[in-house]
Each structure stands twice: as C-alpha cells, then as structure tokens.
Amino acid sequence: MEKLEKTLEEWRAMLDPEQYNVCRLSATERPFSGKYNATKTDGVYHCVCCNEPLFDSTTKFDSGCGWPSFYAPIGASAMTEIRDTSHGMIRTEVKCARCDAHLGHVFPDGPPPTGLRYCINSVCLNLEPRE
C-alpha cells in the first residue's frame, strides 16, 4: 500500500472541522452522536481521508458504547496500532495504515471470533452500501 502524506494545511482544506479535529488531531466525537453508531446498512466502511477500505459491515456489532464498533478490520494491513497513554489510561489507538488518520481505539472486550472491539468515530468513515 502506498502511503498518502499531506500537510496539516492540506488536510484542513479537504476535511470539515470535526473530521479534521478527529482524524488529524486525535479528538473524539461525542458518544451516540455519530451517523454510523446505529446504522445497519450492508456495505464497506472506508477512511474519510483516503478512501481506504477499513471495515466490512458484517463485522459491526452494537457494543452500547456510543460509537460504531467492529470486531475485526477488513484486513490485517488496514490499520496500525499505537500505545496511547493519554487521559490517564492505557489504550491502543488505531490509525488508517494508508494516511495515518486517527480512527479510534481497540479494546479486548469484543465478541467472538476475535474478542476485540474496534471503537471507531463515525466522522472518520464513509459507508459504501453494497448493491
């Protein structure tokens, strides 16, 4: 996969203010406010910054946490994981492998078959419904 690199100024011009704050500055959208939190549409979720496929809707589940949750990414190379010690916690941040957009975090409390919960900000995603 070819890495996509842009300056913060280029990202700011391309994204709306909330997308920029979450994807490029690692902010978080308010729980239960995102457009994909309760979505049941069949399709593929792509990175809003670079259009890289990240999650298939077949791995989405209702975790009750207030953000879209998935038990697996679309592929092992879709994202990178980074140790996050901000806010007095130890968590694992997930970023798009292609453009380094902050997506959310992954936790070890998800359902089978992986036992993982990828807790992802809706503003980081674009859903392409399946035909």
User: Residues annotated in the binding site for Zn(2+), as ranges?
Assistant: 47, 50, 96, 99
Q: Residues near 16 by Cβ (< 8 Å), separated by ≥ 6?
A: none
Written as six digits, the tokens of 23 are: 């994807």
Annotated binding site: 47, 50, 96, 99
Token pair belonging to 107: 């936790």
**Short-list 93, 103, 106, CA closest to 126:** 103
CB 93 within 8 A of CB 85: no
- Residues classed as catalytic: 119
